[in-house]
Structure 1
Amino acid sequence: MTSDAVLMARARGDAGAFRELYDRYSDRVLAYHLRRSRDEEAAHELTAETFAQAWLVRARFRDECDGSAGPWLFGIARNVLLQSVRRRQLEHAARERLGMQVATPAPAPDETWLDGLDEALDALPPSQREAIRLRVVDDLAYDEVAASLGTTPAAARVRVHRGLAALRTRLSSKQEAR
């Protein structure tokens, strides 16, 4: 079986290679969104958006997980979900200010998965927290993250990777405790 990293390299010029990656991960990404949104239609929309974003930024993929594109894809899925939550909050606030009524509210992802995120971020070492903010929130390339932090791109990648791993561990243990 061809590794994800090889497929991603091929996907830069071959849509068929990206399709193979989609076939490998689409069910898992859909399940991820379904667990968090608890709405099948929203989960399908979020999954489509995840892969659309992955297609657009496929040239940025770096093999940092022994040939697996899973962590990269789920990072994109998380960002898509977070943007969806934020966008819906902004749209809702704007409708309220304008006094607009919506006949049927659009399904919103379950926001409880965000519980404890700020606390978990605050528990990270400042260098990891800042690296994650620059890479994930500000969507900077690793070269730009490195320049901002005064380090090398490789060191910036390590900080982001370790910080995200620590966040995953903390948030997973909170979910299991529920």
Structure 2
Amino acid sequence: MRSDAALIAAARTDSGAFRELYDRYAERVLSYHRRRSGDEDAAHELTAETFAQAWLVRARFRDECGGTAGPWLFGIARNVLLHSVRRQALEHSARERLGMRVETSAAAPEEAWLDGLDEALDALPDNQREAIRLRIEDDLDYEQVAANLGTTPAAARVRVHRGLAALRTRLAASKETR
């Protein structure tokens, strides 16, 4: 059985390899979105968007986790969900400014999944917080992150990795105390 990293490398020229990766992770990504959105239809749409984004950026995948693509895919899933929440808020705000009272039938992801994220990000060292912002929010590759931070791509990867690990730890701890 090929590793996730091998499948992503092969997917640059073989869509069947990406399908195999999809088959490995689709149910887990769907569960991730289902838990955070609370809506089956929204979860399916978010999952489709996650894999569409993964397909588009597959050439930028870097095997930093020993052959597994899980952290990479769930980072994309988180980003897709975050953009969905922000887009929903912007659309709602625009409708209010225009005096439109439009009822939406589609369920939006709950913003509760973001609870504690701002505090956890603020607790990170500045260099890790900025590296995460550039990599995740601005969707820059590590070379661009490094250029913005005035460091090497390897050091940028380390900052992002350590920052994300610290965020996972802090968010898990805060979830346990709720």
CA-to-partner distance for each residue in 1:92-122, whole Å, 9 max, x for gaps?
A: 0111111212234421111111111111011
SS in 2 for 1:68: coil
The corresponding residue for 2:23 is 23
Q: Distance in 1 between matches of 2:151 and 2:96?
A: 45
The corresponding residue for 2:52 is 52
**Do the aligned partners of residues 9 and 86 (structure 1) sit closer, same or farther apart at CA in structure 2, a change above 3 Å counting?**
same
Q: TM-score, normalised by structure 2?
A: 0.97
Query: What RMSD, in angstroms, separates the aligned Cα atoms of the two structures?
Result: 0.9
Letter of the 1:86 partner, please give it.
R
The corresponding residue for 2:106 is 106
The corresponding residue for 1:154 is 154
Q: How far did 1:137 drift?
A: 1.2
Greater shift, 61-70 or 132-141, is seen at 132-141
Q: Distance in 2 between matches of 1:103 and 1:162?
A: 42
1:164 has 2:164 as partner: yes
The corresponding residue for 2:69 is 69
The corresponding residue for 2:82 is 82
Q: Distance in 1 between matches of 2:4 and 2:143?
A: 23
Q: Distance in 1 between matches of 2:104 and 2:13?
A: 42
Letter of the 2:133 partner, please give it.
R
Greater shift, 98-107 or 11-20, is seen at 98-107
Identity value in percent: 79
Q: How far did 1:133 drift?
A: 1.0
Q: How far did 1:30 drift?
A: 0.2
The corresponding residue for 2:97 is 97
Q: How far did 1:31 drift?
A: 0.2
Q: Distance in 2 between matches of 1:162 and 1:67?
A: 18
Greater shift, 40-49 or 114-123, is seen at 114-123
Structure 1 runs not aligned, ≥5 long:
none
**Do the aligned partners of residues 174 and 102 (structure 1) sit closer, same or farther apart at CA in structure 2, a change above 3 Å counting?**
same
Q: Distance in 2 between matches of 1:164 and 1:70?
A: 14
Q: Distance in 2 between matches of 1:150 and 1:104?
A: 45
Q: Distance in 1 between matches of 2:176 and 2:151?
A: 36
Q: Distance in 2 between matches of 1:64 and 1:164?
A: 13
Q: TM-score, normalised by structure 1?
A: 0.97
The total of aligned residue pairs comes to 178
Greater shift, 54-63 or 168-177, is seen at 168-177
Greater shift, 10-19 or 102-111, is seen at 102-111
Letter of the 1:17 partner, please give it.
A
Structure 1's consecutive aligned runs of 4 or more residues displaced over 3 angstroms after TM superposition are none
